[in-house]
Structure formats: C-alpha cells, structure tokens
Structure 1
Amino acid sequence: MKNLLPFLHKFLSNWETQKGKSWLHNNYFLAGILCLLTGLMSFIQGWHVSFDLMNYQYYNNYAWLNNVLEYHFSPGQVQSFHNPLLWLPYYLSIRHLPTPLTGFLIGLPQGLNLFLIYWISTKVFPGARVIHILSIAMAMISPMYTFELGSFAGDNICSIFVLAALTVVVKIKESSCRINARATLIKWLFCGLLIGIASGLKLTNLTFLIPIPIVLFIQTYLSSRKTKIAFYLRQTLLPIAFLIFGFVLGFLCTSGLWMYFLYSRYENPLFPYYNAIFKSEYFQPINLKYDRWIPDGFIEGIKYVWFWLVGKDEQTTWHWFPYRDAKWFLFWLLLLFLAILKLFRLYRYSYGQSNLSENNIASWRTDFSYFLVLYSAIGFTIWLYQFGYIRYLLPLDIIAGIVLFFIIEEIVKELRCNILYRQYFLVRLTQVLLVICLAITSTNYSRIGNFLDWPQDWFGVQVPSLTNVESSMILMYSRLPYSYIVPYFPVTTQFVRFDNNMESLIASTRFPETRESMIQNHTGPFYGIFPTHHLSNETELEEEVVRINASLGVRGMTLSLDECIPMMSNIHEFRICPITLSD
C-alpha cells in the first residue's frame, strides 16, 4: 500500500503521455466508432415516438414536400409553421425505410457530438487520455443526451454545428495570427456560419452565438494594457462583424426559403414568432414565448441549480419528466471558488507577494480553456432567462464535463499541491469519482425497449374505408398531437384543425376567416375525427361528441356517434364520423 500511489501515478502518466499510433489518435476511426455506438444504442432502445413527432415533425415535411401547406389548416397546431428542414431525414427514413434501420440511422449522426467533445478535450487537456475518455463519459451521462439519443427532437443534431463552431474557436486561439488578420477573420466567419446553420434549423440555437462576442471582448480587454475603449473596439468589431455575417449566411442557408414562404403568405418571416415586430394580420401582435420555466428574477435563477441538484422542487419538472443533475450546481460553486482564488493571487501579485509571471497571467486571460469557461457561464445565463427549458441547453450540457475538469485542475494549481503523485493521482481520482457520482445521481432517460419487436410501420395508421375520401374535408378536434395520421390519407384529402393550441392567439385576426372560407368553399363530403384512447368510458365519449357538435352547430353541421367508425394506429385510437350538413 505504501508504494501504491507512486505506482499509479507512474502508470497513468506514462499511459497518458506515451507517443505512437493509437485508435484514440485516429480521428476518423474514433468518429466512426462513436457514431456506430450511438446508432446501436438507438436501435437497442427500440421504437420511439414523442409529442413533437406526433404533432408536427412528421406532418410538416409531408405538407412541405406535397405542397399542401396552404391546402390544410394547421394540423400540427401552432408548430405547423416551424421550419421542417431539420426533420426531413427523419421523415424520409420513416416513410421509406424499415423501422429497425430507421431506429439505427436516427442515432448514427448523434455520435458526432461525442467525437467533437473528445476533440475539444484534447485541446484543453493535451495528452491527458484519461480526461479525454472521461469527457465522453460525462457527455453520455447527461440527462438530456440520454433522453434525446435515438429520438427525433433535433437538439442533438443542431448541437453538432454548435460544437463544430467551438472547434473553429480552438483553431483561432491556436493561431499565431493577429485577431483581425485575414485568416483569422475567415475562421470567425466560418464559426458564425456553423451556428447560423444550427439557428436556421432551430431558432433556439441563437443562444449559442451571443456569448462569443462578449467573451471575445472580455479576453481582448484582459490581454492588453491599453486603457482606451477605442482600442478594444478596433480589435473586436471586425471579428464580430465577420462572425455575424457568417451567422446570417448560415441562417439563410437553412431557413431562407422557409422564411420567404412565411413572409409571402403570412407577412412575417418568422411567423408566428416576434409578431410584435412584424405585425402579421394572421396572429396577435405579440412576441410568442413559452415562459413556463423562465425564473422570476435573479434569486429565483440562483435557486434553479439547487433545484436540479436535489430534484425535489416543481421547477425540476421540464415537460412531464422529473429532472435531476448536479453538474451545474458544481459548475457555479467551483467557478466561484476558482474566481476567489484567482483574485486573491492577483492581489498578492500586485503587492509582490506572489511569483505569478506575466506569461501565466496572459495564458488564463486569452486561451481557449478560459474562453470555454466564460462561454459556458454566459451562455447558461442567457439560456436561463430566455428559455429555461433544459432541452435547449444541450450543447452546453454535454460540454460541461470538460469545463468542470478544467476548473478542478485550475483550483488544484492555485492551491499549489506540489507533491507530484498526489497532485496527479488525486486530481484524476476526483474527476473519475465525479463522473461516477453524476452517473448515479443524475436522471437517466434511456429507454430499453424491445429491439426485437419493431412495428412494421412506424405509426401503423389504419385508415378505414370512407366514401369519397379523396374529395373530403376532415375536421380535426382535440388538442392532442396526431397530425401524423395525415400522410396516410390521399394527398387530396383536406384537413382543418380545431381545438388547437393557438385558438386564443388567432382570435380577431384573419386566420379564423381563412378557416371559415376553406369550409364554406368546400364542395365534397365532411368528416370529423377525434382521439378516444384517453376517454375512459362511454359517458366521456358522448360528452366529447356533444362538445364537438357545439362547435359544428355554429356552422350548420352535426355528427352522430352511431355513425362513427373506429380508426387505429400504433399510438392512438380514433373515431372518424361523417358530418351532416343542415338544410
């Protein structure tokens, strides 16, 4: 036991620093292995559906590709106007490939997140193979990563572009060029391009652009002794301009056509969002925002990380699942401790009581590791008060492991643990134990399904025989997500949604007029459809029909429960009923 720690120190340090070819050093091989791993994990988790997939992700691409976006009236509710491009590969695979293969392919590209985490860790911790592996492990045990692995949410696809943008920042920090040199400016443009692509696919990724110019300005300020603000503006404005220009290009690449369609049809390129600015006549003049999880003030925001640590407060519930994760509590706690140590050391240095060198000061003012710390802290704060919805934090959530490991090592350096084997081995032991503790205590959303029993069709909608269904209009009732049924009907069948989640938001606008005009101009048969799986007995079924008839009666229509036909899918049960027009 006496010689155990020195032995472990020697073994680990030799393993971490040994040179030569290794599968960890072959980037293409490692990326392929990690992608195959996540694809296999996605397959093992089995068949999966989500609210968003049932509500709009599948339908939106069908409507887009078949040019029926205006022919229907928002079957996907307010989300019918989301850019469908992100979910296009999912739609095509569900539509045309066997379901087990689709399950595997869903997870395949998500492994690129793990590879980018590994690559960034090699730059923050050169030669530290233990940390590289632990960084991948920390990303994999993130509750949101396990939840979205093998799902259709899309956040873990957009995160690939965000993490790739951070790798460009690494290259900029490694470069010996001046901050506004041509080669550096091109890299800033490419960095903005990548985040713009992610934001065009999903607007919430704009959160990850805003911290970059803030951190750039902070590090430029700290790395220079100039006192005039004009100097810092000259040094940062041009890189920020290239960053923003690249962002706009990337955003237009993935969202330009969709924005043009929305503007030409609904007078708002981001419809229905930011309508207080664009003032479309089809929506209330408000900036639509889902603020359920946004903290009310500074103190409430501080409480959030504690809520996530203990997992006992109502704010730990994002959507309908519980949530527990300690790493953000540890992040802020350790970051505060490190900041105190740094300030104390600078204080001693200013009075000649510390041997801190100018090179040491410059390194933690300018290098990528501290860029990543500041980027995470600022990005988290912006996300918390803009969304507070944990899914939208995914890129920062899976990179938090690297940041935590770096903060731990910086704290150890500041505390001056100079006994070599204790410094090295105890730091690594602390980092390993951190991963183990987080793996045990964090919420695990992984789904172990029956991967040997995939359905033949992803949704399995069985459309019953209906009279003249090709020329029919089907009125959809209930706020439950079920627009996935639309592609199973003939493309000429028209769908009009009632009871959707934007009824109060389109009151007194042109949208209700559009819907009524569609109904009045229709000359074929009418049907009504509504889900019944959530109705526990015949009485509730009859009450649902009465409620629907109250809406139909205003339009001179009625439906009879006796004439309703059951319709089944792998997920829901429905009743579809012929609608009778009053004379």
Structure 2
Amino acid sequence: MTGREGLFEGSRGFSWLPLLLSLAFGAGVSLALGQDCNWDLRNYHFYNVHAWLGDRYRFDIAPAQRQTFLSPLLDLPFYGLIQVLNDWPRLVAALLGAWQGLNYYVLWRIARLLLVVAGAPGLSLAAAGLATLVGATGAALLPVVGSTMNDAPATTLVLAALFLLLRDAKNGDAGSSRAVWLAGGLVGLAVGLKLTIALYAVAVAAALAGFYGLRRFPAQAWRFCLAAGLGLLVTDGFFLWKMWRLFGNPFFPFYNNLFHSPYAAPLPFDDPRFLPAGLWQALAYPFVWATRLTTVVSEPPLRDPRFAVVLVIGLLAGCRWLVARRSAISRPWLGLVVFWVVAYAFWLKKFAILRYLAGLELLTGVLLCAGCLVLFQSPRRALWAMACLAALLLATTRYPDWGRLPFGDTVMDARVPALPPESTVFLLNDEGLAYVIPFFDPRVRFVALQNNLIKPGQDNLLRRQALSLVRHLPEPLFAIDSRTGDPPVEQTLREHGLERLDDTCAPIRYNGRETTLRLCQVRRATGTDGF
C-alpha cells in the first residue's frame, strides 16, 4: 500500500481522513446554500415536533395539512438544535450539513470496495474519487444538504446496509447471515424514519438474490424482512400505534382507501403529479431531465444527465460484456445492479420525484466508472473517459432551488400578533403556514378549513369537527391567510360563512422579513347560522 493510499484507507479499511472530508463537505455545502426556508419546513417539519410534544393531534385540526400526521422523529434533531442554538444559524446549518455528509463517506467506502484496478492502487484511488465526486454532486441530494427535507439521513442508513451486503458478498461469505440481519435492521430503521424509503427496502430485498444466489435467497430474504420489520418498529412503532389509537389508521391519513378511518376521505393521498403517462414516457424520462431545465420530476426546475448517462453507458457496457464474456459478473456487482434497477423501476411506478432517488443518484458515479472500465481495455483510458464524463456532468447539472435565505440573526423567529388565550385561528388555504404555530400561546387552537387534506364538500370527522368549531365557537375568531387577496381564500371564507375584518389585520414577520402572511380577526357573516 502506498503512503498516499494510506491517507484514505488504513490497514483495516478505515481512515479518519475520508470521514472528516465528508463531514466537512456536507457542512460546507450547507453553509454555501444558506439558511433553510423550504416549503416543507414552513409547512410541517418544525410544527410536527411541537404537535407531538404538546399532543395537539386532536386539539388542532390538520394545520400542516396531511403532513401533520407524519412521524416527527427525523425532525427532532433540528427542533432540538433550535432550542439551544437558535441564535447561531450558521452553526446549526453546519451541524446539519455535516451529519448529512455521512452519505459521502459511505459512498466512498462502497466505491473503494468495488472499484479495484488490479495491481494499480493509485488508479483504484482515482476511480473511487471520481465515482464519489459524480455521485455527491447530483441534483437530488446536494441541494437539500443541511435542510430539514430529511432525504439525506435516511439515505445514509440505506447506503450503510448496502455496503454491508456488498462487503459480505465480496468476501465470499455466502452462508453468512450477520450482514443480512444488520442490513435489514438498518433499512427498517430508515423506512420508519421516512416511509418513502420503502422503495429501497424492496430493492435491497430483491438484490439478496444477486448477493447470495437463488438457492440461499429465500432464507436470506426471510432474515432481511424480519430484521427490517423490527427496525421499522423501533423508529416508527410508537407513532404508528398513536395514529391507530387516535384515528384508526396507523399511516393516517395515507392509504385510507384501505383502512377507512372516519376522520378522512377514503383516499390513498399519494402524489401522482410526476408519474409518467405510459411506458414510452417512462423510458424517456431520464433523458427529459437530462437535456433541459424542467419540472417533470421536481417542483422547482432542474437539469441532471446522470441517470440518462448511466442508462446509456450501462447498456453499452452490458453489450460489451455479453460479447466478450471473459468472466461471469461477480456477486457484489450483480446484487448492486439488481438493487439499482429494482429501485428505479419502483420509483418510476410509485413516485417519480427525483429527491426520492437520492440513494441511486449517489451510486451513479460507481456505475459509470465500472461501465468505463468494461468499455475500455486500458484502465488509464477508462479513468480519463470517466474524468471527462465527470466534468461534463458537473458543467451541465442545474440544481433546484428549494428555498434558502441569507443567514439572519436566528434560525427560526416568527413575530406573531398576541392573541387572547384560548383563541381559535382558522387556516384558509394550502400554503405552508404551520411554522408560525409554535410561536403562539399553546392555548391557541389552529383549525384548517381548506388544504390538501380537508376540503369543502367532504364528509368525514375532521371536516365535521372543523365545521362545528366555525359554527359554535365564541368570538373573537381569527384567520391566517395571504395578503394578496387570493381568490381561493375569499371563497373559503364565503363557504364557511365568515367575513374578514380588514382593519384588524397584522402582518406576520419571519426572521425579520415580512412574509405574505397576515393574521386577521374574522366574524360570522349575518344570516349564516346553520350554513
């Protein structure tokens, strides 16, 4: 082992330098992007911990929309940091970014494990570096580093599970079950923290056939699924039980077409906005967001050729391998390819939201580098081709803007008008509003009248409770809405027999900036009793 390589990999496969570089990179990206102010934070990431700690699920009525009822566990670190470091926004951003930078370290370990050029440790090191660079700079994960969107922490656990299985398969421990138990537990923990990670659980389970062979697959899959179930219970069991006890649906309100909780409409409440319309569009999808700035897989526009290039290089390398057939594909690579293909197909069918592909995006560099090594007989030429691809990808990627602010004096600071204790505030549209709730007196109740969960014309318990409060609560009553005279807001007021007292309106300021929100007193319009 050369001295240079030893800086990055110790005698037992570990060195502090890659870990420290990964943490520093995550912190640096977070600081460069600025203070997090994404829509999900304004809607539910801050409020949900407040609701959980204060047991407000029946007191408030869905103020953070259907996201009100997502587990608060991944948001606890951010909420805890705010309690002690709210006056240190840059430090909070750096800590969140460093924590999420663990993804890059695990990615590095996977790249070092798989991208080995025989007899050339320097080339192996370069290959791992290029693969890590490409994977770490994609449009799915990099823009959310240091944010509360929580894709990064859950992805770290999935990558760690995948690394354990890859290492086990490479070591030839086909009969080993320890790695499978550990990997299943990690994936289960991740799914419990963020339910959309379930796509990776399915993919890892399928990849076990590649890692261990079809003969051992049933036993290993059984171990994996049991461990994953236990991991899920550790991180989400408490919350699933709470939702079942309160609303009769452990995933409330999601999958209510299956559980039929009386508190919400019998709908799945999934998000089909980005799903491809058919097979041909699905096949073309990665080339759409590779070639132009688009919102086809994301709310804010982006461009990223990584997935399209992986598919092209993978197809060419696969054809080259079939023609050459010098050797059978190794179990680690077979398992990795199965994992990537299954996860991508699941994502395309269920989500088609690029953020949820962060785990696969991180692996794009590893797959591209492997493809280049197959296509070029000379490892040096392969790495030069990989370097050119890396430069091309970095030059053409355009990142989505999820909402960042210049750093202010505090992380979270909403200046809200003082209200009488035990007041009721109605929320009138589906903007992200719930971030202001923790700054009010905890005796103030917040009731949604119109959002992505509660809508006029529905007949369920949440809707009926909201209507009962509108009709029977003693005045004064208040409402938060947009200052722009949004027509849907005016319609919501009319539909509920309410009218705004415009001379009572006061702006709500966020971190010293005047937002588009205002709080106004409302009253029941004349002649609306029993509407």
TM-score, normalising length: structure 1: 0.82
* Match among 290, 293, 300 for residue 321 of structure 1: 300
The question of whether the paired residues in 2 share the 8 Å contact of 1:284 and 1:506 is answered with: no
Structure 1 stretches of 4+ with a deviation exceeding 6 A read 446-450
Tell me the distance in 2 between the aligned counterparts of 1:47 and 1:86: 19
Task: Give the counterpart letter for 1:125 in structure 2.
Answer: L
The Cα of 1:257 is off from its aligned counterpart by: 0.7
Tell me the distance in 2 between the aligned counterparts of 1:151 and 1:382: 26
Tell me the equivalent position of 2:438.
487
* Match among 164, 178, 184 for residue 186 of structure 1: 178
Aligned-partner SS, 1:143: coil
Tell me the distance in 2 between the aligned counterparts of 1:220 and 1:129: 27
Tell me the equivalent position of 2:64.
76
Tell me the equivalent position of 1:155.
151
- Assess, with a 3 A threshold, how the Cα gap between structure 1 residues 268 and 514 changes in structure 2: closer, same or farther: same
Q: Quick check: which has more Rg, 1 or 2?
A: 1
Tell me the equivalent position of 2:198.
206
The Cα of 1:388 is off from its aligned counterpart by: 0.6
The question of whether the paired residues in 2 share the 8 Å contact of 1:376 and 1:400 is answered with: no
Confirm or deny that 1:370 pairs with 2:355: no
Aligned-partner SS, 1:572: strand
Task: Give the counterpart letter for 2:410 in structure 1.
Answer: D
Task: Tell me which moved more, 512-521 or 394-403.
Answer: 512-521
Tell me the equivalent position of 1:217.
209
How does 1:263-342 map onto structure 2 within 5 Å?
Answer: 263-311=244-292, 316-342=295-321
Confirm or deny that 1:21 pairs with 2:13: no
Unaligned runs of 5+ in 2: none
* Match among 539, 550, 561 for residue 494 of structure 2: 550
The Cα of 1:404 is off from its aligned counterpart by: 1.1
The question of whether the paired residues in 1 share the 8 Å contact of 2:264 and 2:460 is answered with: yes
The Cα of 1:580 is off from its aligned counterpart by: 3.3
The question of whether the paired residues in 2 share the 8 Å contact of 1:311 and 1:322 is answered with: no
Tell me the equivalent position of 1:456.
409
Task: Give the counterpart letter for 1:202 in structure 2.
Answer: K
The Cα of 1:50 is off from its aligned counterpart by: 0.4
- Assess, with a 3 A threshold, how the Cα gap between structure 1 residues 473 and 91 changes in structure 2: closer, same or farther: same
Aligned-partner SS, 2:140: helix
Tell me the distance in 2 between the aligned counterparts of 1:567 and 1:216: 53
Tell me the equivalent position of 1:352.
none
The question of whether the paired residues in 2 share the 8 Å contact of 1:331 and 1:404 is answered with: yes
* Match among 466, 474, 487 for residue 425 of structure 2: 474
Aligned-partner SS, 1:74: coil
Aligned-partner SS, 1:215: helix
Task: Tell me which moved more, 35-44 or 79-88.
Answer: 35-44
Aligned-partner SS, 2:446: strand
Confirm or deny that 1:121 pairs with 2:102: no
Tell me the equivalent position of 1:561.
502
Tell me the distance in 1 between the aligned counterparts of 2:399 and 2:231: 34
The question of whether the paired residues in 2 share the 8 Å contact of 1:283 and 1:505 is answered with: no
Task: Give the counterpart letter for 1:34 in structure 2.
Answer: S
The Cα of 1:442 is off from its aligned counterpart by: 1.2
Aligned-partner SS, 1:256: helix
The question of whether the paired residues in 2 share the 8 Å contact of 1:46 and 1:448 is answered with: no
* Match among 430, 451, 454 for residue 503 of structure 1: 454
- Assess, with a 3 A threshold, how the Cα gap between structure 1 residues 188 and 251 changes in structure 2: closer, same or farther: same
Tell me the distance in 2 between the aligned counterparts of 1:572 and 1:287: 33
Tell me the distance in 2 between the aligned counterparts of 1:256 and 1:317: 34
The question of whether the paired residues in 2 share the 8 Å contact of 1:310 and 1:324 is answered with: yes
* Match among 362, 380, 390 for residue 425 of structure 1: 380
Tell me the equivalent position of 1:167.
163
Tell me the equivalent position of 2:84.
96
Aligned-partner SS, 2:280: helix
* Match among 338, 343, 356 for residue 392 of structure 1: 356
Tell me the distance in 1 between the aligned counterparts of 2:5 and 2:384: 26
The Cα of 1:133 is off from its aligned counterpart by: 1.4
The question of whether the paired residues in 1 share the 8 Å contact of 2:41 and 2:148 is answered with: yes
The Cα of 1:463 is off from its aligned counterpart by: 1.8
Task: Tell me which moved more, 39-48 or 128-137.
Answer: 39-48
Tell me the equivalent position of 1:409.
373
- Assess, with a 3 A threshold, how the Cα gap between structure 1 residues 513 and 574 changes in structure 2: closer, same or farther: same
* Match among 496, 519, 522 for residue 579 of structure 1: 522
The question of whether the paired residues in 1 share the 8 Å contact of 2:62 and 2:448 is answered with: yes
Aligned-partner SS, 2:503: helix
Task: Give the counterpart letter for 1:464 in structure 2.
Answer: P
How does 1:104-143 map onto structure 2 within 5 Å?
Answer: 104-126=94-116, 127=121, 128-143=124-139
The Cα of 1:100 is off from its aligned counterpart by: 1.9
- The percentage of counterpart residues that share the same residue type is 22
The question of whether the paired residues in 1 share the 8 Å contact of 2:152 and 2:358 is answered with: yes
Aligned-partner SS, 1:144: coil
Task: Give the counterpart letter for 1:29 in structure 2.
Answer: L
Q: Deviations over 1:557-583 (max 9, x none)?
A: 543212323332236243322233569
- Assess, with a 3 A threshold, how the Cα gap between structure 1 residues 141 and 239 changes in structure 2: closer, same or farther: same
Task: Tell me which moved more, 141-150 or 113-122.
Answer: 141-150
Tell me the equivalent position of 1:350.
none
Tell me the equivalent position of 1:224.
none
Q: Deviations over 1:247-302 (max 9, x none)?
A: 10111111111100111111111111122221212222232221111112221111
Tell me the distance in 2 between the aligned counterparts of 1:298 and 1:546: 42
| Structure (1 or 2) with the greater helix fraction | 1
The Cα of 1:521 is off from its aligned counterpart by: 6.1
